[in-house]
């Protein structure tokens, strides 16, 4: 969703419509034929890959077992980079100034992992640079939640920030309730739990 909104420049288009400015502007881009790089090819990353392929995107991905060279190649090749890895000591600050410099001009960066996977200071510096490589940044996770109201990063027109909605829907909450109910029954009956974590 964020990749589509950023590539089509939806926020700018809504502002132009509100001002009743000229039609047909701003001109956005398509995702079909573009490359999506997924950092974290677990369950969520895998689902995103299928959806992106349905939009006609080429997909490349890396996992925790991928090499540094694989990550760098993904960053350089991708039109859209989407972060879906867990926050660990190894992934804290995984995307910093060095990695941002590898992105192709006009790239879109999405953070759906955890805020601190993306170095906030490096992102702010990149957005402030006259040679900024980013056409858009989608943030569904933040360095502090709730995100501070006075953080100037969120005022940048290239930043689309959402309140950690990635997996939230009415249907997800209904599935959570069903699983909870089912697991209560299973505990009473001495059966194995669904989606057991430990």
114 is catalytic: yes
Question: Is 58 strand, coil or helix?
Answer: strand
25 is catalytic: no
Contacts of 10 (CB under 8 A, 6+ apart): 4, 28
Cβ-count burial of 116 within 10 angstroms (0-12 exposed, 13-18 middle, 19+ buried)?
A: middle
Exactly one of 79, 114, 126, 142 is catalytic; name it.
Answer: 114
Exactly one of 8, 120, 158, 164 is catalytic; name it.
Answer: 164
84 is catalytic: no
Exactly one of 145, 174, 175, 191 is catalytic; name it.
Answer: 145
Q: How far apart are CA 76 and CA 79, in angstroms?
A: 8
Tokens (6 digits) for 183: 């697991």
Residues marked as catalytic: 114, 145, 164
């Amino acid at each position: 969703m964020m990749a589509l909104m950023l590539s089509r420049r939806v926020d700018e288009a809504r502002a132009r419509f509100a001002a009743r400015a000229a039609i047909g502007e701003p001109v956005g881009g398509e995702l079909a034929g573009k490359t999506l790089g997924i950092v974290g090819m677990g369950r969520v990353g895998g689902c995103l890959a299928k959806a992106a392929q349905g939009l006609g995107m080429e997909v490349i991905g890396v996992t925790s077992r991928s090499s540094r060279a694989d990550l760098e190649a993904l960053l350089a090749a991708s039109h859209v980079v989407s972060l879906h890895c867990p926050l660990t000591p190894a992934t804290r600050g995984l995307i910093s100034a060095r990695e941002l410099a590898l992105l192709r001009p006009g790239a879109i960066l999405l953070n759906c992992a955890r805020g601190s996977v993306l170095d906030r200071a490096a992102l702010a510096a990149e957005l402030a640079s006259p040679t900024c490589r980013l056409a858009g940044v989608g943030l569904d996770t933040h360095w502090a939640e709730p995100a501070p109201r006075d953080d100037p990063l969120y005022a940048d027109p290239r930043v689309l920030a959402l309140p950690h909605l990635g997996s939230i829907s009415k249907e997800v909450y209904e599935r959570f309730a069903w699983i909870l109910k089912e697991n209560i029954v299973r505990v009473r009956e001495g059966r194995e739990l669904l989606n057991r974590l430990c």
